[in-house]
């Protein structure tokens, strides 16, 4: 393992969505603040979108962490596999919200969920439903979610819904079949890839959290190459940097330079931003030879 070699307490580039390693670059900071405020203000329906690997699930886990710290008794439900029909959704919500009892029919399930929501509202709280990978939801299930949100009271909206998904979720919600739900969207938040400077800050902050007290092992030019090969996508940054540390440890290199980043990118078949537009460069890359850029 490279932990001892690079003076780290734990792996800094795990792919698990650990809120401790949330590096609040501008897009993530803005998304987390907006979603938190939207839930607190009981806006109703909130939508978070972003390309694959940009950190949506990490933001969701951080949102849950913030909300549960602020509201100890806040009922929350997190749906991570949205491939459900309408009845399965209700069953999943009863389990996630930890509603006690056995409910043999749909009216009983709906009544139990409504009692739970109104009870939370009377106590000054609210219920939060978060659906990850929401771009995979069917229109039928989206309609069921809309109907659950109809349970408004004079105290406000007792159910806050956060739909999180890839950019396709915009197309899904814009579909005429989902017009009624589309009109309920109170807030849209989107994530983007990190910039060059944000990529460097992301890497250095994760190394610091993992225990690296002195200057990180990556050289300045290596940071640039990490950005070029990862295109600023946090998941790809994690994969690339973890492999760099493995290679550096295996070769006993105290510093991670461009050659190590390039070797790591070849292992994962990552192409540098814009560089592959040149056909000669593409041929070199596909044969495992990556000439250093001039």
Q: What tokens were used for 111?
A: 């009544």
C-alpha span between 202 and 227 (Å, rounded): 11
- H or E stretch including 73? none
- Mention every residue, 6+ apart, whose C-beta is less than 8 A from residue 242: 11, 12, 13, 14
pLDDT at 26 (0 to 100): 85
Residue 1 half-sphere exposure toward CB, CA atoms < 13 A: 8
pLDDT at 155: 64
Q: Which residues pair with 127 in a beta bridge?
A: 159
Outline where the chain has alpha helix (H): 26-40, 56-70, 86-96, 106-122, 139-148, 168-174, 179-182, 196-209, 220-230, 234-250, 258-267, 279-286
Domain ranges of the chain: 26-190, 194-286
Whole-angstrom distance, CA of residue 66 vs CA of residue 32: 9
> What CATH number belongs to 26-190?
3.40.50.300
Structure tokens at 86: 């309408």
Residue 153's pLDDT is what? Answer: 62
Q: What CATH code is assigned to 194-286?
A: 1.10.8
| Rounded-to-integer distance, Cα 278 and Cα 282, Å | 6
Rounded distance between C-alpha atoms, residue 31 and residue 186, angstroms:
14
Predicted pLDDT of residue 294: 36
Cα–Cα distance, 245 to 3 (Å, whole number): 9
Q: How far is residue 197 from each of residues 25, 131, 138, 203, measured CA to CA in Å? A: 10, 31, 39, 10
Q: Which of 223, 294, 207, 208 is nearest to 258 (CA)?
A: 223
Tens of pLDDT, residues 195-221 = 999 999 999 999 999 999 888 899 999
Residue 103's φ and ψ, nearest 5 degrees, are -120, 115
Q: CB-side exposure of 212: number of CA atoms within 13 Å? A: 20
Average confidence (pLDDT) per 10 residues, the chain, 294 residues: 92 82 81 94 94 91 87 86 95 94 90 90 86 96 94 77 96 94 95 93 92 89 95 94 96 95 93 55 41 40
């Amino acid at each position: 393992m490279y932990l001892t070699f690079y003076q780290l307490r734990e792996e800094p580039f795990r792919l698990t969505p650990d809120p401790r390693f949330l590096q609040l670059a501008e897009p993530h900071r803005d998304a987390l603040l907006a979603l938190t405020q939207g839930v607190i203000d009981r806006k109703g329906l909130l939508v978070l979108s972003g390309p694959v690997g940009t950190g949506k699930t990490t933001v969701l886990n951080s949102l849950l962490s913030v909300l549960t710290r602020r509201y100890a008794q806040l009922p929350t439900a997190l749906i991570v596999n949205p491939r459900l029909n309408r009845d399965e959704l209700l069953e999943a919500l009863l389990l996630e919200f930890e509603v006690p009892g056995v409910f043999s029919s749909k009216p009983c399930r709906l009544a139990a969920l409504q009692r739970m929501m109104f009870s939370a509202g009377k106590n000054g709280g609210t219920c939060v439903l978060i659906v990850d990978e929401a771009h995979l939801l069917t229109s039928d299930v989206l309609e069921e979610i809309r109907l659950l949100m109809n349970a408004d009271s004079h105290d406000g909206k007792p159910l806050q819904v956060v739909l999180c998904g890839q950019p396709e979720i915009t197309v899904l919600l814009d579909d005429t079949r989902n017009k009624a739900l589309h009109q309920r969207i109170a807030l849209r938040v989107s994530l983007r890839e990190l910039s060059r400077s944000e990529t460097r800050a992301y890497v250095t902050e994760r190394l610091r959290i993992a225990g690296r007290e002195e200057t990180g092992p990556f050289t300045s030019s290596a940071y640039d190459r990490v950005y070029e090969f990862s295109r600023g996508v946090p998941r790809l940054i994690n994969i690339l940097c973890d492999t760099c540390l493995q290679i550096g440890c295996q070769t006993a290199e105290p510093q991670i330079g461009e050659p190590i980043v390039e070797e790591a990118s070849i292992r994962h078949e990552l192409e540098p931003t814009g560089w592959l537009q040149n056909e000669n460069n593409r041929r070199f890359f596909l044969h495992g030879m990556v000439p250093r850029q001039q």
